């Protein structure tokens, strides 16, 4: 009885081993042969899926690079694996195609087995890759050096005047004071508040007073969403909701994570609740966050509870002459008659850098007769009866610089810039489109040549001190942005 039981058990064991070790493997090998065409078709389908996934990934990578993001290592590795797999697929498909006729009419079972097995292996590899594509997160991240910095905006030719030097050190001392978190810098339009604020920001960072310095322009009609975006750019904060916006509270919480940050709000015209309207933590909300605002109106500083208010005055006569002399290229060897006219012109500028710089640049290298004509124009246009310094002087000086532009196309290009909203970043391609549509450059028949003409006009305007360079965009000087120059010349 026991022996019979042992014999049956042994027989079952041997049978199982035969099935597992012989029958199943042979079945798998035969399956490769029998399902050859199905495997080849499935392989082609997987290849199409991988090609589509790779295309989507490349689009995301390109989009990330356009936003100055660095690409994650695992994303680059996945792209490389996809490229390599698709390349291998090409080789395998060529092998299948070359032997297709022979396999149909004179089957070589060994051949068919090997190719089908390769196809199944490749299908498995592609499926694993597609799974990784599905699990992929963000493709890029911001590089620390890609974030904007205050140094990019600073003028390399910044020169201290007595007033700006005094204001500079007053602001720096206030920034060092732990009990001061809101500082106001005020002065008339064109006196140099923006330039000084940028210099303060740059030096404050070099003195390691702050880890980050942010600057944004507020202007007469504040675009609060744009202001938030500019602040977010400086701190690498890209989170937005489904509508493409971020809430004031989200920005407020993110800024609180910055241990030491200086936010420069340039050109404020009215009081703004920084916490509710923008999302800036100040005072007890965040001791490490300080705000420096610039404004033309002293009452704005009071309304926004600035603990330290600094006034920036115009240049004195000697400082105004030194700046004009530098911009106009005058020296000890210049003609005395031109120097006499230059002194008269400088006095008309009333110490305003925004008037001195463009006018000096416009007259650089001009003849005595051109200097005389410039002085007559300044004298005859609403200046003879003006006793007090006021903002109108800057517009008149800018108009004189405008009159000295050599050709009408460049003047019209400036007028186009002046018609954009205040503090608007004017992109070159926008000007090219308007110039092309208005047929500004007569006899120019291609968009490529129009772009070249526009770029030449822009360089001329920048060299004349009428346009500011903003990297990929250009912007009119603050005085020109008021559109008065444009309107006066359009009327003429």
Residues 6+ apart with CB under 8 A from 380: none
- How far is 61 from 49, CA to CA, in rounded Å? 18
pLDDT at 257 over 70: yes
More confident residue, 356 or 168: 168
In the chain, which residues fall in CATH 1.10.10.10?
A: 405-492
pTM, 2 dp: 0.54
Q: Helix 317-328 to helix 336-349 angle, to the nearest 10 degrees?
A: 120
pLDDT at 467 over 90: no
Taking residues 460-474, what's their average pLDDT? Answer: 63
Q: Which residue shows structure tokens 């920048």? A: 462
Query: What number of other Cβ atoms are within 10 A of residue 305's Cβ?
Result: 12
- Give exposure, 285-303, as e/b (b: 16+ Cβ within 10 Å): ebebbbbbbbbbeeebbee
Share of the chain above pLDDT 70, in %: 70
Say if residues 361 and 401 touch (Cβ distance below 8 Å).
Answer: yes
pLDDT of res. 294: 94
pLDDT of res. 43: 81
Say how many CA atoms lie within 13 Å of 245 toward its Cβ. 10
**Which stretch of 63-77, 79-93, 147-161, 295-309 has the lowest confidence by average pLDDT?**
147-161
Say if residues 262 and 241 touch (Cβ distance below 8 Å).
Answer: no
The pLDDT tens digits of the residues spanning 72-120 come to 888 889 889 888 888 887 666 666 666 555 545 555 556 666 677 777 7
pLDDT of res. 151: 54
Say if residues 106 and 81 touch (Cβ distance below 8 Å).
Answer: no
Nearest CA among 155, 158, 136, 118 for reference residue 76? 136
Taking residues 441-463, what's their average pLDDT? Answer: 86
- Strand 467-470 relative to strand 473-476, pairing: antiparallel
Provide the 3-class DSSP secondary structure of residue 31: helix
In the chain, which residues fall in CATH 3.40.50.300?
A: 150-311
The pLDDT tens digits of the residues spanning 177-234 come to 999 999 999 887 777 888 899 999 988 888 889 999 999 999 878 899 889 888 888 8
- How far is 397 from 360, CA to CA, in rounded Å? 10
Say yes or no: domain 150-311 is CATH 3.40.50.300. Answer: yes
**Which stretch of 156-160, 279-283, 431-435 has the lowest confidence by average pLDDT?**
156-160
The domain 405-492 is placed in CATH, from the list 3.40.50.1970, 3.40.1160.10, 1.10.10.10, 3.20.20.70, at 1.10.10.10
**Which stretch of 34-43, 229-238, 339-348 has the lowest confidence by average pLDDT?**
34-43
């Amino acid at each position: 009885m026991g022996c019979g039981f042992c014999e049956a058990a042994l027989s079952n064991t041997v049978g199982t081993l035969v099935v597992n070790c012989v029958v199943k493997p042979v079945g798998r090998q035969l399956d490769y042969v029998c399902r050859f065409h199905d495997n080849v078709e499935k392989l082609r389908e997987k290849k199409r899926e991988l090609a589509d996934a790779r295309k989507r990934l490349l689009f995301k990578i390109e989009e990330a690079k356009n936003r100055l993001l660095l690409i994650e290592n695992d994303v680059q590795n996945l792209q490389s694996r996809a490229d390599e797999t698709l390349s291998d697929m090409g080789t395998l498909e060529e092998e299948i195609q070359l032997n297709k006729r022979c396999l149909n009419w004179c089957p070589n079972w060994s051949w068919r087995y090997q190719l089908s097995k390769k196809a199944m292996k490749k299908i498995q590899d592609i499926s694993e890759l597609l799974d990784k594509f599905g699990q992929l997160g963000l493709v890029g991240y911001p590089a620390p050096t890609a974030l904007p910095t205050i140094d990019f905006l600073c003028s390399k030719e910044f020169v201290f005047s007595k007033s700006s030097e005094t204001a500079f050190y007053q602001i720096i001392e206030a920034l060092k004071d732990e009990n001061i978190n809101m500082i106001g810098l005020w002065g008339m339009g064109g006196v140099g508040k923006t330039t000084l604020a940028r210099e303060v920001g740059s030096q404050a960072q070099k003195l390691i007073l702050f880890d980050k310095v942010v600057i944004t322009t507020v202007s007469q009609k504040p675009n609060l969403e744009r202001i938030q975006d500019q602040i977010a750019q400086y701190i690498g904060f890209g989170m937005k909701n489904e509508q493409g916006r971020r809430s004031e509270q989200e920005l407020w919480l993110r800024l609180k994570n910055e241990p030491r940050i200086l936010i420069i709000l340039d050109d404020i015209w009215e009081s703004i609740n920084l916490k509710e309207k923008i999302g800036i933590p100040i005072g007890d909300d965040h001791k490490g966050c300080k705000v420096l605002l610039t404004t033309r109106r002293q009452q704005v500083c009071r309304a926004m509870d600035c603990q330290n208010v600094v006034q920036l005055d115009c240049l004195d006569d000697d400082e105004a002459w030194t700046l004009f002399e530098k911009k106009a290229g005058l020296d000890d060897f210049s003609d005395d008659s031109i120097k006499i006219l230059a002194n008269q012109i400088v006095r008309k500028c009333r110490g305003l850098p925004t008037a001195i710089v463009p006018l000096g640049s416009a007259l650089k290298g001009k003849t005595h007769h051109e200097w005389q004509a410039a002085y007559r124009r300044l004298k005859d246009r609403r200046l003879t009866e003006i006793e007090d310094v006021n903002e109108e002087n800057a517009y008149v000086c800018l108009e004189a610089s405008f009159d000295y532009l050599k050709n009408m196309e460049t003047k019209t290009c400036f007028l186009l810039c002046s018609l954009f909203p205040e503090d608007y970043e004017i992109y070159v391609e926008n000007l090219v489109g308007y110039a092309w549509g208005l047929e500004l450059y007569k006899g120019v028949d291609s968009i490529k040549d129009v772009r070249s003409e526009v770029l030449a006009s822009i360089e001329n305007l920048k060299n004349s001190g009428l346009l500011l360079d903003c990297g990929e965009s250009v912007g009119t000087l603050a005085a020109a942005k008021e559109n008065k120059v444009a309107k006066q010349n359009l009327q003429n």
